[in-house]
Amino acid sequence: MASLSRGAIALSRALRALVLLADFYLVALAILGVLVGADAAAWIWAPPPVAIKVTVLSAVLGFPVLRGTFALGASTGEEKEALPLTEAEQPELCGTVRSLAGRSGTRPPDEILLTEEVNAAVSEDARLLGLLPGRRRLYLGVPLLTGLSEPQLHSVIAHELGHYSDADTRMAGITRRGRDCVLRTVAAFQEREQKRIGKDRSNSGKMLASRALMRLMVLVRSVERPLRWARMSVSFFVTLGVPALGLSAGGSGRTRQ
């Protein structure tokens, strides 16, 4: 009875995870359908300039959706760096994990991996939407092994093994795929928005520089005009010559008798 109930729980969780993942794809396809319909309507009834603007806007909005929805093959970069622990190296710890798994009513992990984090975690490579079990891994942080007492460490391991008992790890693959879809879509929109903000800042800087240059030109012209008049005045008096000023041609500074 317990195995049947666990199988029913796993099946219900698989269906819910599959529905949630399918809902995201349906929403993405609906958005793309609306954008394509708007483009078609614009090219049929609107003038060509308006249709071009609508098409460009649809491409800007639709590209992040396509990128986030269909880029599932890329790695998320969240793989843990861990050191495998063999039973020959730590027979007591491996025996403790098997004993706790038996008391929890679940299959023990196939691998025990040591990490540098102050944390513990479990994973399972389930198949067929989580209906079939897969290879199990238990991650233990070295700070936990050195900082916790034996009963405390047993409690942490038992808590992690409880995730196996409740079939929590069966849906990890589907849940991660759905999360990656959402995160990639949001990241694509954020990247496009950051590019737009950077472009606006660049345009603002160019506009401020052009305004400063224009003000400098106005200032130079405002100073240039008085200087021009002063230069013309000096040239005028120089052209008249020294006799017009009542001075001798020799420049002695004496007045004529």
Query: What predicted TM-score, i.e. pTM, was given to this entire model?
Result: 0.48
Asked if residue 63 and residue 38 are part of one domain, the reply reads yes
**Total count of domains within the chain:** 2
The answer on 166 and 100 residing in a single domain is yes
Residue 247 inside a domain? The answer is no
**CATH classification of the domain holding 148:** 3.30.2010.10
* Judgement on whether residues 63 and 111 belong to the same structural domain of the protein: no
Residue 212: the pLDDT is 72
Whether residues 162 and 88 share a domain: the answer is yes
User: What is the tens place of the pLDDT at every residue in 154-165?
Assistant: 999 999 888 887
Look at residues 135, 152, 170 and tell me which one is the last residue of a structural domain: 170
Residues 35-59: tens digit of each pLDDT: 889 889 889 998 888 888 888 888 8
Whether the CB-CB separation of 139 and 78 falls below 8 Å is answered with no
Q: Judge if 11 and 39 occupy the same domain.
A: yes
Look at residues 170, 191, 217 and tell me which one is the last residue of a structural domain: 170
**Both 57 and 93 in a single domain?**
no
Domain that includes residue 123, residue range: 83-170
Q: What pLDDT shows up at residue 79?
A: 58
Verify that 144 and 92 share a domain, yes or no.
Answer: yes
Both 9 and 63 in one domain: the answer is yes
